[in-house]
Chains A and B, each alone.
Chain A
């Protein structure tokens, strides 16, 4: 029974962290160009990639 008091909050917190990270990736436009992202992974130039374009949010 006592273990529950640790395990349940841990499960919830881990879930919440995942949710927060997902929301951040969504907001920073990481799902805007899935095709491009797939190709960029194969880019073997040494040039650093430009920072992701920060969304249309004013």
Chain B
């Protein structure tokens, strides 16, 4: 069983959820009953059910509590007035689970669920009808005649007519929508084939004729609906998994009013309010520092990996994390005026300028439909000239349309996409849409962001093995009193080397400088080299801490932003398959150059603003290149939206993840190369399927044109071709072992309570834990 349940009593913050704010999430569940759902990302094993359900059911007033493992949600129904949603969150927090209320309207999950259920209902109806009609048809084919045959045809008609009307709607509406926009998609020939088969069969039944195609019409619908339902389920699953990654906490901020601190929702922040930002908290608005000196981690906002010092007067942006000391900030902009809102506008523009992507199947349909219709027309004319019989000519023309109804073509793409996205999902790569696979396979340029994408966005100590253990113990003794990323890196290195931090006393943290403590009556400092009394560093790009005792240098600790596992292998793979790789970073030139050299990326640009990233990606696209943008930060979001397609790690900022087409879990960057390789393979299978389907047509059409098609031949031919393409799609799963082992069932919640501020953070390092 997967180890996933958090330790009880873990420090999980609970945000107040009462009164009007709670209303938003609550729905009615019968008289006097209310219902609320929570997203609980850590709930992903059976032990979680056993832990959560009894505890919640024990809360007074609760009628039922049920865990949904697929969606990682918990639904609670309670009697009004006897409990508050707050209590449930507290119960979950006591068990160690982070939870946030779930709004089904968000991300259109509710409408998607409804759509999925409608498809399943249509599928069930079509299945029922197909079974029964096939039963009757087999009797007809085995030789039922006269009145019996008519009876069977009538019963078939009775079942088929409502079925076609009900179960065919997904295709009819899609075909109508396409036609109204002057386009042709695969659903147009499908709808036409199904409708014509039904109408013609009805006419034949009325005239006691021998052949009725009800079975063909309904079986066709059944096959196609099966493909469509599977496709929908895959997509819904990926979307729900991605939306579960979004921020865990409602956005709140602490303001100071008349000398009193008060917690308010982030949406209620106004200009000129005074914001109190605690250590480890993210800023909820743009502003200017009024009081306090601290260091800020701006990596999500700018891509800068080294923390920056903030003093009174420093401008700060929302999304920045406060690292070392509390700050008071005077708000200068909120909502529409903030840095993030500005980026959202850029994103919207980038999305609009994207031309509508037409899937291969629909491009094929553009040629397929006219060809088939011309063929039917020629058949009609030919038979008219040959037999001078309107009925025969018309029947044969319709038979051509029925036999060419692209059942296999309609399945050729969805079947492959379902198999491929399913494979990727198990590998931890969540594809938002089937068309993304097609786009991925065509990519010829990959643009990476640095901090948080090629790297994990947190520093590690270099050459930890060469540091004398007693010095590492001393440094860790100081560092464990600080939340500075470099301090944390020292502590992690110490615990990885099994070194016990030395005992120190009187630790002081001087924001922007470092830590000072007393050891055996001597002053020990860990921090910036200038503050420790050393000369200015020759290379400002490197991250380092000096350790001094009474002003005497003991050791220089050098740090580096930790590279994502297999980053180099990924770049090599991509370059080897002929792709152009580019690095666009907001970080300083020296750091970017070093990383680019290390990974062998020749085309790199440092100090890129979000606008520059966007314009570079757009320029590449304008050259006709198809860009895969891989990024995580807020500053990457416009470029992600502008790329031909895009990927983001699960640890990305909310806005980055929303902008990306694909999200990958786990640390390894190989996910990028894997997704592309699998997409290419999937696209090959799609093309094979098209060829299979067209071969089928090449065989079947002449038979239809010559007037030899009977319902039996149609049924056999259509089923065979459909089964062939589905089997070929399933082979993809067989033939395509992914290059790297999947990062097991690494839960999407790589988060710690400390990260639960406004934006999600890079996951904690696996190595050091």
Q: A residues engaging B (CB < 8 A)?
A: 1, 4, 8, 11-12, 15-16, 18-19, 22-23, 26, 31-36, 39-40, 42-43, 45, 47, 50-54, 56, 58
Within 8 Å CB of A32, what residues of B?
A: 68, 70-71
Within 8 A of A (CB), among B9-63: 27-29, 35, 45-46, 49-50, 53-54, 57
Looking at the complex, which one of A31, A33, A36, A40 makes contact with B120 (CB distance below 8 Å)? A31
Query: In the assembled complex, how far is the CB of residue A45 from the closest CB belonging to chain B, in whole angstroms?
Result: 7
Query: In the assembled complex, how far is the CB of residue A8 from the closest CB belonging to chain B, in whole angstroms?
Result: 7
Identity of the chain B residue whose Cβ is nearest the Cβ of A7 in the assembled complex:
B135
Determine if A35 and B77 form an interchain contact, defined as CB atoms under 8 angstroms apart: no
Determine if A15 and B65 form an interchain contact, defined as CB atoms under 8 angstroms apart: no
Determine if A15 and B53 form an interchain contact, defined as CB atoms under 8 angstroms apart: no
Flag whether B179 is at the interface (Cβ < 8 A): no
Determine if A4 and B148 form an interchain contact, defined as CB atoms under 8 angstroms apart: yes
Q: B residues engaging A (CB < 8 A)?
A: 27-29, 35, 45-46, 49-50, 53-54, 57, 64-71, 75, 77, 104, 110, 113, 117, 120-121, 124-125, 128, 131-132, 135-136, 148, 151, 155, 159
Within 8 Å CB of A4, what residues of B?
A: 148, 151
Given contacts A35-B70, A36-B67, A36-B69, contact A58 B28 (CB under 8 A): yes
Determine if A43 and B46 form an interchain contact, defined as CB atoms under 8 angstroms apart: yes
Identity of the chain B residue whose Cβ is nearest the Cβ of A31 in the assembled complex:
B120
Query: In the assembled complex, how far is the CB of residue B348 from the closest CB belonging to chain A, in whole angstroms?
Result: 31
Determine if B70 and A36 form an interchain contact, defined as CB atoms under 8 angstroms apart: yes
The docked-state distance in angstroms from the alpha carbon of A50 to that of B66 is 7
Determine if A33 and B64 form an interchain contact, defined as CB atoms under 8 angstroms apart: no
Given contacts A35-B69, A35-B70, contact A45 B50 (CB under 8 A): yes
The docked-state distance in angstroms from the alpha carbon of A56 to that of B471 is 60
Given contacts A11-B132, A23-B124, A43-B46, contact A58 B27 (CB under 8 A): yes
Determine if B155 and A33 form an interchain contact, defined as CB atoms under 8 angstroms apart: no
Within 8 Å CB of B54, what residues of A?
A: 47
Determine if B125 and A19 form an interchain contact, defined as CB atoms under 8 angstroms apart: yes
Query: In the assembled complex, how far is the CB of residue B219 from the closest CB belonging to chain A, in whole angstroms?
Result: 15
Identity of the chain A residue whose Cβ is nearest the Cβ of B29 in the assembled complex:
A54
Given contacts A16-B128, A43-B49, A54-B29, 20 further A-B contacts (CB under 8 A): A8-B155, A11-B135, A12-B132, A12-B155, A12-B159, A18-B128, A19-B125, A34-B70, A36-B68, A39-B45, A43-B50, A50-B64, A50-B65, A50-B66, A53-B64, A53-B66, A53-B75, A56-B27, A56-B104, A58-B28
The docked-state distance in angstroms from the alpha carbon of A15 to that of B132 is 8
Query: In the assembled complex, how far is the CB of residue B378 from the closest CB belonging to chain A, in whole angstroms?
Result: 41
Within 8 Å CB of A53, what residues of B?
A: 64, 66, 68, 75, 77
Determine if A56 and B110 form an interchain contact, defined as CB atoms under 8 angstroms apart: yes
Looking at the complex, which one of B50, B67, B75, B121 makes contact with A26 (CB distance below 8 Å)? B121
Determine if A50 and B57 form an interchain contact, defined as CB atoms under 8 angstroms apart: yes
Query: In the assembled complex, how far is the CB of residue B701 from the closest CB belonging to chain A, in whole angstroms?
Result: 34
Q: Can you spell out 9 A-B residue pairs with CB atoms less than 8 angstroms apart?
A: A4-B151, A19-B128, A22-B124, A35-B70, A36-B70, A39-B49, A39-B69, A50-B57, A50-B64
Given contacts A15-B131, A16-B128, A47-B54, contact A42 B28 (CB under 8 A): no
Determine if A33 and B71 form an interchain contact, defined as CB atoms under 8 angstroms apart: yes
Query: In the assembled complex, how far is the CB of residue A31 from the closest CB belonging to chain B, in whole angstroms?
Result: 7
B64, B69, B135: residue with the most chain A Cβ atoms closer than 10 Å: B69
Determine if A26 and B120 form an interchain contact, defined as CB atoms under 8 angstroms apart: yes
Identity of the chain A residue whose Cβ is nearest the Cβ of B116 in the assembled complex:
A31
Identity of the chain B residue whose Cβ is nearest the Cβ of A52 in the assembled complex:
B66
Identity of the chain B residue whose Cβ is nearest the Cβ of A34 in the assembled complex:
B70
Within 8 Å CB of A15, what residues of B?
A: 128, 131-132
Query: In the assembled complex, how far is the CB of residue A49 from the closest CB belonging to chain B, in whole angstroms?
Result: 8
The docked-state distance in angstroms from the alpha carbon of A49 to that of B602 is 60
Within 8 Å CB of B27, what residues of A?
A: 56, 58
